[in-house]
Amino acid sequence: MTWAELTSALRESGALTAEWEKAFATVPRTEFTPDRIHYEGEWVDRGKDSARWLDLVCSDLPLVTQLYDDGRTPSSSSSMPTVVATMLRQLDVADGMNVLEVGTGTGWTSALLARRLGGELVTTIEVDTNLADIARNRLGGAGLGATVVAGDGTLGYRGKGPYDRLHATAAVQRVPSAWIEQTRPGGLILAPFGTAFCNGALVKLTVSEDGRSASGPFVADVAFMWVRDQRPESGPFDIDDVRHSASGIDPKHVDEESTAAFVIGLRLPGLFRQRVWADYDPLGTGRSEVWDGVSYAHCRYADWDGPHAVTQSGPRDLWEEISAAYAWWERSGRPDLTRFGLTVTTAGTQRAWLDDPANVLLRLGESVG
């Protein structure tokens, strides 16, 4: 597939709207993708296999462009074109708007914004100095003079604010107060949001007239890398004083229904989850594990309603809490992701809600950094 063919496919699918089609057509991802990309566990080098490199870059795929020192964990990527188109559509920009992007990465999204609005109206901030330098050179070489700043994006960048739009390309668990303070009243903050349990969803917040809060709905199911100081860190945990029981729900519901998992994460903040195959288990079965750093629980996928399917340890009965949160979602009519929303304040509170900001589910935190 060529870039022109992908652009056409995105338009036909409805992901790419008319106001963004010219930018996509004239700013191909090929110009903002490094010569080495990581896909399905291996590096693809443009110099050694240019055909495969080009095929991947012109496909509707997310591509990892950098790994942490462990050689396994992605630290930068080029997002899936469909997702980029969706986010830019949700950003609701108009001519003359001043935009701050948090998370420059390869510079491709910054380039799209600069093509649409003009580089003088686009500022992008990247925590990785090397990536910022590379993106600055790419943007300059393409004649797209966006301002590229090396720094901590969670602090924003006051130098060219206030902004009409703030666009984040990395996920947060807590919306930074600086983002609210640096976005004008009535302006939008668009950011991937998640919890330690589920990453995540795209939240679209409108800043209040007094500039002290922002509120809005979740508008799409997306998953992004975390901003570096908000990555979930589970830490070690001990399992003792074990209790066994049957499960009231099939654990596959928790792991395979993305909206249910997201809602459970909203109602049970700080709860980590993973799927494992426990070869040390006599039954050799897969299971869903959850823990909060002190309490632990798992539920086997096989015979989940059997008397020993659930194992729990610690002061909390975590699997019962998960089961109750899932049951609440079902009793509420299995509401879609877009019926939920978030309200955040510069004072540090975050509240998730259903249908209306007054219908608060849970206070998510007292400090947003």
Q: For the domain that residue 34 is a member of, what is the CATH number?
A: 3.40.50.150
pLDDT per residue as tens digits for the range 325-355: 999 999 999 999 999 999 999 999 999 999 9
Give the N- to C-terminal CA distance of the chain in Å, as an integer. 44
**Element housing 126 (H / E):** strand 122-126
Of 135-149, 173-187, 240-254, the one with minimum mean pLDDT is: 240-254
Provide the mean pLDDT of the chain: 92
pLDDT band at 369 (very low <50, low <70, confident <90, very high): very low
9 and 141 in a common domain: yes
pTM of the model: 0.92
Q: What is the pLDDT at residue 275?
A: 86
209 part of a folded domain: no
35 and 121 in a common domain: yes
Q: At a CB cut-off of 8 Å and minimum separation 6, what does 113 contact?
A: 88, 93, 99, 101, 122, 146, 167
Q: How far is CA 208 from CA 68, 184, 191, 338, in A?
A: 38, 9, 17, 20
Q: What is the pLDDT at residue 186?
A: 98
pLDDT band at 67 (very low <50, low <70, confident <90, very high): confident
272 and 147 in a common domain: no
Distance CA 124, CA 26 (A): 20
Structure-model confidence comparison of residues 26 and 234, the more confident one: 26
pLDDT per residue as tens digits for the range 81-90: 999 999 999 9
> What does the pLDDT average to over 350-367?
77
pLDDT above 60 for 68: yes
**Domain of residue 79, residue span:** 3-169
Task: Judge contact between 110 and 117, C-beta under 8 A.
Answer: no
17 and 165 in a common domain: yes
Tell me if residue 75 is catalytic. Answer: yes
Distance CA 350, CA 265 (A): 14
pLDDT above 70 for 284: no
Which of 169, 204, 223 terminates a domain? The answer is 169
pLDDT above 90 for 62: yes
Give just the sign of the alpha carbon dihedral 218, 354, 339, 187.
Answer: negative
Q: How far is CA 4 from CA 21, 61, 115, in A?
A: 11, 15, 17
The rounded Cα 152 to chain-centroid distance in angstroms is 17
138 part of a folded domain: yes
63 and 164 in a common domain: yes
pLDDT above 50 for 368: no
pLDDT band at 239 (very low <50, low <70, confident <90, very high): confident
Q: Which residue of the set 8, 59, 75, 234 is catalytic?
A: 75
Structure-model confidence comparison of residues 230 and 209, the more confident one: 209
